Amino acid sequence: MPVSDRARTSKLPGYHSDNWRKWEFDNALYQKHLEWYLDRIYKCLRSTGAHNVLDVGCGEGIVYRAMRARGYSGAWTGFDASDEAVRLARQLSPDANWRQGSANQIPFPDKSFDLVFSAQVFEHLPNPAPALHECTRVAQRWLLLSVPREPWFRALTWCAIKLKLGQDPGHVNHWRPREFRRFVQAAGQLERLDRTTVYQIAIVRVPNLRGQVST
């Protein structure tokens, strides 16, 4: 089932969030791009061999369910600043571990997860460096990070707002690929930078406890 259909059919009456609205937006071209984007995320996730994932800014668990539908079978833990979103994630996906928390103070010990994943979160953080440091701290081997690809995302967003088809997403960081590359390289060795039309996806190999790149 496409992620947009899954979002529409699983939403509880009366529940609203900007994140959920993004995934259920009823436009065939947009939905096709979302599925392409999620396919790329899954391919990147699978390439790392990770069996234990932390999802930073998990929202209602929509991306988790998309990864499960594509074949991911490992352990998944997600946290989000929104307690309401976490409660819904628990209700819809009780097979994963969900909790409330902040990206600037991730509530887990050092090196707790094979891979730390975050999709469309860092562009909302006024100071993203502490969150990147925290993600690196709790990752044993990998970071998988995705943000909008600029300037294309802002251009398409502007068009959508003018046509009354969308709204301002409230982004405070606008990374072009070269800038995003520099940002993630502060966390470790950039293994791959993938792109769709409006998103970019980085796979980063993080240092081990002795400050060396893990193998």
- Asked if residue 106 belongs to a domain, the reply is yes
- At residue 185, does pLDDT exceed 70? yes
- Asked if residue 170 belongs to a domain, the reply is yes
Question: What is the pTM for the complete model shown?
Answer: 0.86
For 75-112, write each residue's pLDDT tens digit. 999 999 999 999 999 999 999 999 999 999 999 999 99
- At residue 131, does pLDDT exceed 50? yes
**Which tokens belong to 20?**
């959920």
Q: Say what the pLDDT of residue 42 is.
A: 97
- Asked if residue 211 belongs to a domain, the reply is no
Task: Name the packing angle between helices 28-48 and 62-70 (round to 10°).
Answer: 70
Q: What is the mean pLDDT of residues 126-144?
A: 97
- Asked if residue 215 belongs to a domain, the reply is no
- At residue 65, does pLDDT exceed 80? yes
Nearest to 80 by CA among 103, 53, 110: 103
- Asked if residue 185 belongs to a domain, the reply is yes
The more confident residue out of 26 and 171 is 171
- Asked if residue 214 belongs to a domain, the reply is no
Q: Say what the pLDDT of residue 177 is.
A: 94
Report the alpha-carbon distance of residue 31 to residue 111 in Å, rounded.
35
Domain holding 15, by residue range, is 3-205
Structural domains of the chain, count = 1
Task: Please count the other Cβ atoms lying within 10 Å of the Cβ belonging to residue 150.
Answer: 19
Q: Say what the pLDDT of residue 146 is.
A: 97
- Asked if residue 195 belongs to a domain, the reply is yes
Q: Say what the pLDDT of residue 165 is.
A: 52
The enclosing domain of 70 has a CATH number of 3.40.50.150
- Asked if residue 138 belongs to a domain, the reply is yes
